[in-house]
Amino acid sequence: MPIYEFKCKKCGNEFEKFVLSYSQIKDVKCPKCGGEVEKKVSACAVGGSSGSTASGGSCTAFG
């Protein structure tokens, strides 16, 4: 099921949201404050390096 974990950049609120398509992820807002959120990286961890901020675009294995 396409449920992704998000974290609010503004208030730090963490929540899960059902997202039908990947393009909807960028439209997700924090339900508490309406702030910008970032998707928590989960399934894309490939190597053993624990990068705290994985904002690279190399993880697009969807579909």
Check residue 31 for interaction with Zn ion (CB under 5 A).
no
Contact 6, 18 (CB under 8 A): no
Which of 47, 52, 46 shows the shortest CA–CA distance to 60? 46
Nearest CB to Zn ion, comparing residues 38 and 54: 38
Check residue 8 for interaction with Zn ion (CB under 5 A).
yes
In whole angstroms, give the CA distance from residue 51 to residue 23: 24
Check residue 4 for interaction with Zn ion (CB under 5 A).
no
Q: How do beta strands 37-39 and 14-18 pair? A: unpaired
Check residue 11 for interaction with Zn ion (CB under 5 A).
yes
Check residue 32 for interaction with Zn ion (CB under 5 A).
yes
Residues making contact with Zn ion (CB under 5 A):
8, 10-11, 13, 30, 32-33, 35
